[in-house]
Chains A and B, each alone.
Chain A
Amino acid sequence: MSDDGTLEAAQAALAAEHATVYGYGVAGARVAADRRTEATAAYHAHRARRDALVRTVRDLGGEPVAAGPAYALPFAVPDAASAVRLAAVLEDRVADVYSDLVRAAEGPLRRSAADALREAAVRAVRWRGSGVPFPGLAERAADGSRTDGTGDRDKATAGRSEAQAGTAH
């Protein structure tokens, strides 16, 4: 795989982590008290991944893509139940980009992308209570095992938010 392909995939992963960190800012504020610790841990994990990807992109000679000021949420998040659904969707989406990074990268970067994909899949399952057969492979999720509009992932990386809260940075 060319360096350009690797850089592009790393940038996509970084953009997705920006969106995820933002999303957890929203979700974390809404989840029930007994799941707050989990949300906070996930938030910090994604921040750490984001920071690592910033370094990766620089190492690959790129200019790290910046976080958007706000992101469109896939659905309204007025309560604890929707916050949990949002968290699960965030993990699905980030898994999608990490699978692409696995394909585009080699060596340690491939390994860390695979680890990030595994972690995202486990968190998705924790939030949702069920798994999908192929985490991170959007093309194999057409059986309806994923709901909540995870099909069009670009929503997470563009657009203004109607989000009421959630300054995640």
Chain B
Amino acid sequence: MRRTGTTRRGALTATGAIAMGAVLAGCGSGGDDESAGRKGSARADARTAADRSSAETSLRVKARGVSTSLYAQYEHVVQAHPATAAGLTPFGTPFAPTSRPWAPATRSASSGPGPAPVAAAAVRELAAAERRAAASHTEALMKAPPELARLLASVAAAASAHAYLLTELAKETKA
């Protein structure tokens, strides 16, 4: 497509998934339920707050599971198709093969036989996984307390954006 270079540069996909996992893990212990129940601290309130908090925790655990499995899928694709690594992680770290220096996107684009169509299919599969993640987070946010809902909405939005980038990347990969 028209934005050949930008798409590759842009797919910061997996880094997003990692950051998200960290965020969901970081505040998993009911740290932000100040939105509800704190002031009226009668025993009944405490009980409902506890229920609420456990519901929230399970939403977080589920969301974290979604992002973890997404991350594993990225890893799997990069291992199976090393040529996709440059597009999937422009800024390096997570999927860099440990034995090799990071190949800049420009070089990987011009050298070698180029990614096989099967790599394009793998990238498309990742796009589908991101779309499913977005749907799952969107469903979860409807049941979440306010702050978590806001976070999940952002994470869902990032997943949709990643799905778009990956779809573009798959087109390039094929070409």
Contacts and interface: CB of A to CB of B under 8 A. Distances in A.
Interface residues of B, number: 36
B140 to A, nearest CB: 10
A104 B32 CA distance: 15
B40 to A, nearest CB: 15
Interface string A93-106: 00100111011100
A113 B158 contact: no
A110 B142 contact: yes
Interface centre among B12, B19, B150, B164, by most A CB within 10 Å?
B150
Contact of A103 (B10, B12, B149): B149
Contacts of B23: 134, 140
Contacts of B19: 133-134
Interface of B: 2-3, 5-7, 9-13, 15-16, 19-20, 23, 35, 134, 138, 141-142, 146-147, 149-151, 153-158, 160-162, 164-165
19 contacts: A100-B150, A102-B150, A103-B146, A103-B150, A110-B141, A110-B142, A114-B141, A114-B156, A114-B157, A117-B153, A117-B157, A118-B138, A118-B160, A122-B157, A130-B12, A133-B12, A134-B16, A135-B158, A140-B154
Interface of A: 1, 34, 95, 98-100, 102-104, 107, 110-111, 113-115, 117-118, 120-122, 124-126, 128-137, 140
